Structure 1
Amino acid sequence: MASSNTTSELADGASAALGHSLRQEFPFDPDYRNFNQGSFGAWPTAIHTRLREYQDRANQRPDPFIRYELPKLLDASREAAAALLRAPAETVVLVPNATVAINTILRNLTWNPDGRDVLLHFSTVYGGCGKTIDYIVDAHQASNTPVSSREIPLQYPFEDRDALAAFESAVARCAAEGKRPRLCVVDTVSSLPGIRFPFEALTEACRRHGVLSLVDGAQGIGQIDLDLAALDPDFFLSNCHKWLFVPRGCAVLYVPVRHQALIRSSVPTSHGYVTTQAHTDGTPRFNPLPESTNSHFVSSFQFTGTVDCSPYLCVTDALQWRQEVLGGEARILQYTQTLAREGGKRAAAMLGTEVLENSTGTLGRCGMTNVALPIQFTADGNAGLSAAEVPVVTSWILGKLMEDYNTFIPLFHGNGKVWARMSAQVYLELSDFEWAGRVLLEICQRVAEGEHRGAAN
Structure 2
Amino acid sequence: MANELTPFGKPMLKHWLFAPSYKNLNNGSFGAHPAAVRDAQRAFIDQADGRPDPYIRALHAGHLEKARVAVAEVLNAPKDECVFVKNATTGVATVMYNLNFQSGEAVVYFEPVYGAVEKGIVSLQEHSNLQSRKVHFQFPITEDELESRFREVVRKTREEGLKVRAAVFDTIVSNPGCRFPFERFIAICREEGILSVIDGAHGIGQIPLDLNKLQPDFLVSNCHKWLYTPRSCAVLYVPKRNQHFMRTTLPTSWGFISDLSSPETPRSLLDDPNAVKEKTPFEGLFEFVATSDDSAYICVPAALKFRKEVCGGEDAVMSYCINLAIEAADVVANILGTDVLQEPDLKPGEVSNMRQCALATVRLPIAVSDEPVAGATVTISPNEAPGVFSWIQTTLMTEHDTFVPVFRHGPWLWTRLSAQTFLDKSDFEWLGGILRDLCEQVAKKEGKWTATLAVH
- The TM-score range, normalised by the shorter chain, is over 0.9
Question: Aligned partners of 2:99 and 2:275: how far apart in 1?
Answer: 29
Q: Give the C-alpha shift of residue 380 in structure 1.
A: 4.9
Q: Secondary structure of the equivalent of 2:279? A: coil
Q: Secondary structure of the equivalent of 2:231? A: coil
Q: Give the C-alpha shift of residue 291 in structure 1.
A: 2.8
- Does the CA-based 8 Å contact 1:71-1:302 persist in structure 2? yes
1:298-323 residue CA offsets vs partner (Å, 9 max, x unmatched):
00111011111100010111011101
1:120-139 → structure 2 map (5 Å cutoff): 120-139=108-127
* Residue 415 (structure 2) aligns with: 420
Question: Aligned partners of 1:232 and 1:136: how far apart in 2?
Answer: 26
Question: Aligned partners of 2:357 and 2:442: how far apart in 1?
Answer: 30
Question: Aligned partners of 1:250 and 1:121: how far apart in 2?
Answer: 24
Change (3 A) 1:272 1:188: same
- Does the CA-based 8 Å contact 1:58-1:65 persist in structure 2? yes
Question: Aligned partners of 2:267 and 2:96: how far apart in 1?
Answer: 31
Q: Give the C-alpha shift of residue 169 in structure 1.
A: 1.4
Q: Give the C-alpha shift of residue 281 in structure 1.
A: 8.2
1:105-116 → structure 2 map (5 Å cutoff): 105-112=95-102, 115-116=103-104
- Does the CA-based 8 Å contact 1:214-1:235 persist in structure 2? yes
Question: Aligned partners of 1:362 and 1:169: how far apart in 2?
Answer: 23
Alignment RMSD, CA only? 1.8
* Residue 353 (structure 2) aligns with: 362
Alignment of 1:254 onto 2:237: yes
Question: Aligned partners of 1:430 and 1:283: how far apart in 2?
Answer: 60
Question: Aligned partners of 1:184 and 1:153: how far apart in 2?
Answer: 14
* Residue 409 (structure 1) aligns with: 404
- Does the CA-based 8 Å contact 1:378-1:384 persist in structure 2? yes
Unaligned 5+ runs, structure 1: 1-5, 141-145
Question: Aligned partners of 2:399 and 2:111: how far apart in 1?
Answer: 34
Residue identity in the other structure for 1:92 = C
1:9-408 → structure 2 map (5 Å cutoff): 10=4, 15-112=5-102, 115-140=103-128, 146-275=129-258, 276=260, 283=268, 287=272, 289=274, 291-358=276-343, 359=346, 361-380=352-371, 384-408=379-403
1:153-181 residue CA offsets vs partner (Å, 9 max, x unmatched):
12211122222222111111122222211
1:355-404 residue CA offsets vs partner (Å, 9 max, x unmatched):
11112511111001111111122215796222210111111111111011
Q: Give the C-alpha shift of residue 289 in structure 1.
A: 3.7
Q: Secondary structure of the equivalent of 2:83? A: strand
Change (3 A) 1:155 1:282: closer
Change (3 A) 1:437 1:67: same
Q: Secondary structure of the equivalent of 2:416? A: strand
Q: Give the C-alpha shift of residue 147 in structure 1.
A: 2.0
Residue identity in the other structure for 1:106 = M
Residue identity in the other structure for 2:153 = A
Q: Give the C-alpha shift of residue 65 in structure 1.
A: 1.0
Question: Aligned partners of 1:76 and 1:159: how far apart in 2?
Answer: 42
Unaligned 5+ runs, structure 2: none
- Does the CA-based 8 Å contact 1:241-1:247 persist in structure 2? yes
TM-score by length of 2: 0.93
- Does the CA-based 8 Å contact 1:163-1:198 persist in structure 2? no
Question: Aligned partners of 1:282 and 1:160: how far apart in 2?
Answer: 51
Question: Aligned partners of 1:123 and 1:204: how far apart in 2?
Answer: 20
* Residue 3 (structure 1) aligns with: none
Residue identity in the other structure for 1:59 = D
Change (3 A) 1:409 1:333: same
Q: Give the C-alpha shift of residue 137 in structure 1.
A: 1.3
1:242-284 residue CA offsets vs partner (Å, 9 max, x unmatched):
0111000000001110111100111111111133467898655
1:156-212 residue CA offsets vs partner (Å, 9 max, x unmatched):
111222222221111111222222111001110010011101101100000000000
**Aligned residue pairs, count:** 440
- Does the CA-based 8 Å contact 2:2-2:36 persist in structure 1? no
Q: Give the C-alpha shift of residue 152 in structure 1.
A: 0.4
- Does the CA-based 8 Å contact 1:160-1:362 persist in structure 2? no
Q: Percent identity?
A: 38
